[in-house]
Amino acid sequence: MNHDPRSEAAARPADAGPHGAGRSGWHEPLPVSLPKPTIWPLVLAFGACLLAWGVLTSWAISLVGLTLFATGLGGWIARMRDEWNT
């Protein structure tokens, strides 16, 4: 028994589209809003790396890492709150 996808396309209504969007009970998906790109995740990750590196080497590097980590986390949360409220 051979399966011919063209026969299925011919059997589908013309307004159904390639994935059957015109079928009864189906609807078009709602548009998805993605967050805008930001630098804060990179700052957070760099701070975490410096914090871990500082644990192995020096407290001064850990302090810089902790500062960057806190700044990145605070900036990222503030950015998400701003986007959530708009």
Which is higher by pLDDT, 12 or 52? 52
Which is higher by pLDDT, 10 or 55? 55
pTM: 0.61
**Domain residue ranges of the chain, discontinuous segments joined by +:** 5-25+37-85
* Distance of alpha carbon 63 from alpha carbon 79, whole angstroms: 24
**Encoding tokens for residue 26?**
């189906």
Assess whether pLDDT exceeds 80 at residue 19: no
CA dihedral sign, ordered 71, 77, 78, 83: positive
**Encoding tokens for residue 60?**
């001064």
Assess whether pLDDT exceeds 90 at residue 83: no
Assess whether pLDDT exceeds 90 at residue 26: no
Assess whether pLDDT exceeds 90 at residue 82: no
Domain 5-25+37-85 annotated CATH 3.30.1120: no
